[in-house]
């Protein structure tokens, strides 16, 4: 193991994940209340290429001067982290952290489409994205709501009350993957424009 401080490591310069405000908050909360989870992986020069969000939260939570546990590896052997403070995987904390590990990754992943497009030009990403997945994603780069489409062609069409609840609120149904994409893009729009309330964000989108 090598002795270094958090300040000796650098955020990834070209990160295809912009992260979400909610996801970063979830990560900070779980580390604060339940302890460290996951890992940060860097290149030999100290620049992170997996775990940028964790490095950011760690610096905020523990301070840049703290000495993390650094394990040097050439990638040929697995690295296992043992939480000695958790007796078994049936411990409520372990169960929560298991859910958190997957949920935070889901909520905190928002593709930076500009950077992803640049990476795709230089590196083969076919093992991570099917060709149509990547092309569909990148084609929606300039569209805040992605490639979701609503048909407004018939302006005089009678309102479908089956999609309206008792308060007069419309409900739209999307495929699950499209729903996640919509929510991620909407949250990123709020973050980019420093908006905290959903209604304010919708209002700005309607005025755009």
Report helix, strand and coil shares of the chain as percent, to nearest 5.
45, 5, 50
What is the reported pLDDT for 138?
Answer: 82
pLDDT computed for residue 27 by the predictor = 95
157 DSSP assignment: P
Closest CA to 142 of 202, 200, 185: 185
Q: What is the pLDDT of residue 72?
A: 94
Q: What's the predicted TM-score (pTM) here?
A: 0.65
- In order along its 208 residues, the chain shows pLDDT tens digits of 678 999 999 999 999 999 988 899 999 999 999 999 999 999 999 999 999 999 999 999 999 999 999 999 999 999 999 999 999 999 999 999 999 999 999 999 988 888 999 999 999 999 998 888 888 888 754 444 444 444 434 444 444 555 555 555 555 666 656 667 777 778 878 878 888 888 888 888 777 6
Neighbour-count burial of 20, counting CB atoms closer than 10 A to its CB (0-12 exposed, 13-18 middle, 19+ buried) = buried
């Amino acid at each position: 193991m090598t002795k270094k401080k958090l300040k000796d490591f650098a955020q990834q310069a070209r990160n295809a994940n912009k992260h979400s405000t909610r996801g970063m908050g979830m990560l900070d909360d779980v580390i604060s209340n339940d302890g460290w989870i996951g890992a940060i992986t860097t290149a030999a020069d100290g620049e992170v290429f997996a775990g940028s969000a964790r490095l950011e939260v760690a610096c905020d939570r523990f301070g840049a001067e703290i000495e993390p546990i650094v394990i040097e590896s050439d990638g040929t052997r697995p690295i296992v982290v043992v939480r000695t403070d958790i007796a078994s995987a049936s411990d409520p904390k372990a169960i929560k952290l298991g859910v958190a590990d997957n949920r935070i990754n889901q909520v905190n992943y928002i593709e930076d489409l500009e950077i992803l497009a640049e990476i795709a030009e230089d590196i083969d990403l076919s093992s991570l994205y099917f060709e149509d997945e990547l092309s569909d994603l990148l084609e929606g780069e300039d569209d805040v709501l992605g490639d979701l489409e609503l048909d407004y062609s018939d302006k005089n069409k009678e309102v479908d009350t089956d999609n309206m609840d008792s308060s007069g609120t419309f409900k739209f149904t999307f495929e699950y993957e499209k729903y996640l994409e919509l929510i991620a893009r909407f949250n990123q729009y709020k973050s980019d424009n420093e908006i905290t309330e959903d209604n304010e964000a919708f209002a700005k989108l309607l005025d755009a």
